[in-house]
Amino acid sequence: MTEPQHNSLDLGAVRRRLARQSGPTYWRSLEELAQTPAFLDVLKGEFPAFAAAAATALDRRRLLQLMAASMALGGLTGCQKEVDPRKLSPYVEQPPGIVPGRARYYATATSLDGFGYGVLLRHEMGRPLKVEGNPDHPASLGGTSAIGQASILGLYDPYRAQSLTQNGQLAGGEDLRTMLVESGSALAARRGDGLRLLTGALTSPSLAGQIGSLQKAFPQLRWHQWEALNRDTERDGARLAFGRAVDIVCDFTRAEVVLGIESDALATAPGHLRYARDFATRRRADEAKAGMSRVYAIESTPTLLGAKADHRVIMTPVEIRAALRFIAGALHAGPPDWAKAQVPRADHLASLVADLATHRGRALLHAGREQPAEVHALCHAINHALGAFGQTLRAIEPVAAMPTGNAASLAALVADMQAGKVDTLLILGVNAAYTAPAELDWAGALQQVPQSIYLGEYADETAAQCRWHIPASHEYERWSDIRAHDATVTIQQPQVRPLYGGRSAHEILAMLLGTTQPDDYALLRSRWQGVSGAANFERFWIDSLRSGVVANSAAPSIAVAPRADYADAFPPLATGSSALTLLFRPDIGLWDGRYAENGWLQEMARPFTRLTWDNAAAIAPATAARLGLAQSDMARLTVEGRQLQAPVWILPGQAENCVTLHLGYGRRRAGPVGTDIGANAYALRSAGAPWSAGGLTLAKTGTGYAFASEQHDALIEGDDLVREATLAAYLHDPQSLKRKQDDASLYPGYAYDGIAWAMSINLNSCIGCQACVVACQAENNIPVVGKKEVGRGRVMHWLRIDRYYKGDIDAPGIVFQPVPCMQCENAPCEVVCPVQATVHDAEGLNVMVYNRCVGTRFCSNNCPYKVRRFNFFDYTGDDARPRESWNPDVTVRARGVMEKCTYCVQRTRKAMIEADKENRGVADGEVQTACQQACPTQAITFGNKSDPQSAVARRKASVLDYSLLDELNTRPRTTYAMAIRNPNPKIETS
């Protein structure tokens, strides 16, 4: 910039200019006054816009006029050219059927593993807000899983993909349609040569039908399947045993002796909710009509079934195979010389065999998906030998469409991709870039594919690698259908229009088939019109939608018999070595990693480790001692040259020399919640050893790691928080189990002239699945606080499931204890609050008045159960959930206030208001708390204690009823039913 020329000032001119001015004139410098060119240059350089504005000779009036006009016309941008002919109607008159504050429920199904179970979604003012199990659905019976409960958060997740992209750039819906329809016609011309379809496990009859049409239109199409947590071993086991693939449907209500071989029957197996319910009905000593079952478990790493077992035998994978051969041999289900082989824990197994043999037709073996095909084949053979088929379980045709071998299918696809045989790859919701076996060069292979189209809910690892990413709709946003474990079909009806413009697989396939305006609804209806065979299709349709179940769609049993030579192909048993084995296991929250973006599931404590926001290399205490590893040490895991760093967690009840690593963590592109959480076990997982990899080395890196566990001390100290007894003792003298409670007091108690809400939790039934915890979070607007805050002891869950070990640290008994607020009669919290923010109400609840709370936190200090939670920060405000997804019946809590379980007071009040309106009392069972409703095993009973006929009063009258810390005389409203174990008297319990 040039220096202004000071000497060029013509003062005379300046004076003349000033003389011409009228009114007050302000000037900043002589240069300005003189309007010298040098000054104008400076001005122009400094404020370029000003020069242009100054050139337009705008006076003040004109400026104000223009400003006013801009303001007035600004709103016009919101106007549309043509008037929308569709009329909106104001909400002055209530639309029929919609009452503000009254919930409506719509049935649909939620899926895991391709299998669905029926759910009812609660809608408030048109918004789906809460998932409940569908009591009419055979795979749910009203129960839900943690993942199912959390699915509603997935629906509202603002980080779900919202935009269609082509090569990373935004693309329009028209582009997609053109691309798909054009590719479709081009492919049709060459009979689909080069077109590949990759899906996960799917049971949807209509989607399978659509793929069938696709295969007809493109005969060269090849359909591949990759489900990371596939059930290939089960299928292969059935092939070994019966020569054909079958699915097994168990009936735990008829099983008197259950043997779980690292069974996932209560946790993740298709139908697990139903199994859990049936299992629990046979485990309630005081209620089971047909007698209590006896449960054995043989496993390498703790499972939910194992924790409930009366005898839990810890074995390495090799020992499990040997043990099963022993059992098969002893029960004449295999070569008799198997029974003579050396097996570990032989005496234990002999007693087990005797027990099984005496319960022919009433025994049941179930093996988890992680067990090798051989174990499944042995299970089938033993079950058959025990006469279980037709009694405690039945075989049905495989439910999943195209039950292929997943690993082989994906390997074939990758090989073809690398060979350049694939020009169009359509991926329907399979995040293969994350889950593919480590030895496959998926990313490299995908580069060879000119046209890769990915339909996925998130902009994840696979979306980043594909040419096209189509945001998928959530399963609550689309029309579809799905089968349950017993093939029962649910028509999935959308609960809401796609929030983020997602598309369904049906749409994509239809477009590929040339339909420019696909209509899932019409497609689904026309399909079911064809297959339902109903005389009155409308009736059938409405009934199916309303009940959430297509009547009589369960698969019939088929007869199977084991092949005589099923054991011939068994690989020989390796001799025992002290080499480490790595066990890959599904995560009960993140599953294969697809729920990594779900904060509720990330923050849910895992049943055994009680870890949140992390997975860990879980090892047995003895192995840790041998390897010199301590809790939270960072370790380097090496398998076949592949390396991974993961922190060590010492897990009592784990088999020696076995390291369990849960899958689903270590996502690279999950979203802001789930990215880089935990260690990615897929980095070590190969197609050949999907569940257990030998030859593991575990080396200390020397660094430590900070876990965020919800529980820090596991061994029971002091008093008996969890009371247990044996069935024999219970049957011998039930009264001996009753603990006398002395509740003498100088002060009069509260008088209740109406309802006295109370809860009873049956420790026999609780399987530790965490569904109640997530249900509580969903119902009560409990915020997610994140790993750092959990690590600082500030988790907000109102309900937690404590896990305790007892006995031998290497083979401990494991017990779960759900702990909500005890709603004490003599509540220690109430007396210490200086501002009366927590008070006793007329129904005996300790209500928390958030508005009144000033946050002294004395109530929490004084709560011996430590069930109160404090908003140390503005957790609710910091939660990324959209506002419309919060439950409108429950206040959200501000920073600095205490909160806790209210027995779902919003539900009890609603029921009481309804009852009042109808001038009646609240019926027993009319109100269910969120935890109670979610519980697959009905461990929680809730109701009016004052009514002696109520279920809760009856449970409290049981001799098994006890209250936690009764010596403190808090007189809790929440009590527990003692756990009863049914050990085999022939087996010495350690």
Partner 1 sequence: MVATTETALSEPVIGAEQDYTSVSEHLSDLVLVQPTPLWWYAGMAGATALFLWLIVAAGYLFYYGVGVWGVNIPVAWGWALANYVWWIGIASGGTFISSLFYIVGADWRNGVNRFAESLTLFAAAAAGLMPIFHLGRQGLFYWLFPYPNVMHIWPQFRSPLLWDFFALLAYILTSIVFWYIGLIPDCATLRDRATTRGAQIFYGILALGWRGSARHWRNYKVVYLVLAGFMAPMVVSVHSIVGLDFAAGLAAGWHSTQWPPYFFIGALYSGWASTLVLMIPIRRLYRLERIVTERHIEVISKLMLATGLLLTYCYALEAFQPYYKGDAAEIGAFRFSLVGPQGSAYWIKTACNVLLPQLLWFPAVRRHKPILFLLALGIVIGMWFERFSFVVASLAHDYIPSEFFTFHATIWDEGILYGSIGLVLAGFFLFIRFLPVVSIFELREVIRHKERR
Over its C-alpha atoms, the chain yields an Rg (Å, rounded) of 33
Binding site for partner 1 (CB under 8 A): 711-719, 721, 789, 792-795, 800, 802-804, 817, 819, 828, 831-836, 852-858, 860-866, 868-874, 894-898, 964-965, 968
Residue for token pair 């040259």: 641
Q: Which is nearer to partner 1, 332 or 840 (CB)?
A: 840
Query: Kind of pairing, strands 633-639 and 692-704?
Result: antiparallel
Cβ at position 766, least distance to partner 1 in Å? 14
Chain centroid to CA 430: 17
Cβ at position 849, least distance to partner 1 in Å? 9
Distance CA 836, CA 839 (A): 6
Distance CA 398, CA 744 (A): 62
> Residue 895 is encoded by which pair of tokens?
């920073």
Cβ at position 660, least distance to partner 1 in Å? 22
Query: Kind of pairing, strands 633-639 and 642-650?
Result: antiparallel
Q: Which is nearer to partner 1, 570 or 873 (CB)?
A: 873
Distance CA 139, CA 116 (A): 8
Q: How many Cβ atoms are within 10 Å of 501's Cβ, its own excluded?
A: 14
Cβ at position 866, least distance to partner 1 in Å? 4
Cβ at position 721, least distance to partner 1 in Å? 7
User: Which 3 state secondary structure label does DSSP give 176?
Assistant: helix
Distance CA 632, CA 820 (A): 29
- State the DSSP code for 721: S
Q: Which is nearer to partner 1, 245 or 716 (CB)?
A: 716
Cβ at position 794, least distance to partner 1 in Å? 5
Nearest to 646 by CA among 620, 617, 666: 617
Nearest to 727 by CA among 978, 954, 355, 352: 978
Cβ at position 59, least distance to partner 1 in Å? 47
Q: Which is nearer to partner 1, 653 or 943 (CB)?
A: 653
Residue 544 CA: distances (Å) to CA of 243, 278, 539, 739, 963: 36, 25, 8, 50, 44
Q: Which is nearer to partner 1, 357 or 839 (CB)?
A: 839
Distance CA 617, CA 775 (A): 28
Cβ at position 651, least distance to partner 1 in Å? 16
Side-chain half-sphere exposure of 543, counting CA atoms within 13 A? 11
Distance CA 203, CA 662 (A): 25
Cβ at position 514, least distance to partner 1 in Å? 58
Q: Which is nearer to partner 1, 522 or 831 (CB)?
A: 831
Q: Which is nearer to partner 1, 197 or 773 (CB)?
A: 773
Cβ at position 795, least distance to partner 1 in Å? 8
Q: Which is nearer to partner 1, 436 or 853 (CB)?
A: 853
What are the backbone angles phi and psi of residue 223, rounded to the nearest 5°?
-105, 120
> Residue 669 is encoded by which pair of tokens?
């592109």
User: Which 3 state secondary structure label does DSSP give 481?
Assistant: strand
- State the DSSP code for 545: H
Q: Please name every residue paired with 382 in a beta bridge, in sequence order, or none if there are none.
A: none
Cβ at position 969, least distance to partner 1 in Å? 10
Q: Which is nearer to partner 1, 865 or 962 (CB)?
A: 865
DSSP-derived secondary structure for 890-920:
SPPPPTT-EE---SSHHHHHHHHHHHHHTTS
Cβ at position 143, least distance to partner 1 in Å? 24
Q: Which is nearer to partner 1, 402 or 880 (CB)?
A: 880
Cβ at position 671, least distance to partner 1 in Å? 25
Cβ at position 610, least distance to partner 1 in Å? 8
Q: Which is nearer to partner 1, 338 or 816 (CB)?
A: 816
Q: Which is nearer to partner 1, 475 or 802 (CB)?
A: 802
Q: Which is nearer to partner 1, 443 or 849 (CB)?
A: 849
Cβ at position 58, least distance to partner 1 in Å? 45
Q: Which is nearer to partner 1, 469 or 797 (CB)?
A: 797
Distance CA 131, CA 777 (A): 12
What are the backbone angles phi and psi of residue 436, rounded to the nearest 5°?
-60, 150
Q: Please name every residue paired with 952 in a beta bridge, in sequence order, or none if there are none.
A: none
Cβ at position 673, least distance to partner 1 in Å? 20
- Do 392 and 362 meet the contact criterion of CB atoms below 8 Å apart? yes
Q: Which is nearer to partner 1, 717 or 753 (CB)?
A: 717
Cβ at position 857, least distance to partner 1 in Å? 4
Please state the three-class secondary structure of 105-170 as a single string. EEEEEEEECCEEEEEEEEEECCEEEEEEECCCCCCCCCCCCHHHHHHHHHHHCCCCCCCCEECCEE
Q: Which is nearer to partner 1, 509 or 795 (CB)?
A: 795
- State the DSSP code for 319: H
Cβ at position 678, least distance to partner 1 in Å? 22
Q: Which is nearer to partner 1, 182 or 874 (CB)?
A: 874
What are the backbone angles phi and psi of residue 757, rounded to the nearest 5°?
-65, 145
Please state the three-class secondary structure of 268-298 as a single string. CCCCHHHHHHHHHHCCCCCCCCCCCCEEEEE
Please state the three-class secondary structure of 369-428 as a single string. CCCCHHHHHHHHHHHHHCCCECCCEEEECCCCCCCCCHHHHHHHHHHHHHCCCCCEEEEE
Nearest to 209 by CA among 527, 484, 508: 527
Q: Which is nearer to partner 1, 632 or 862 (CB)?
A: 862
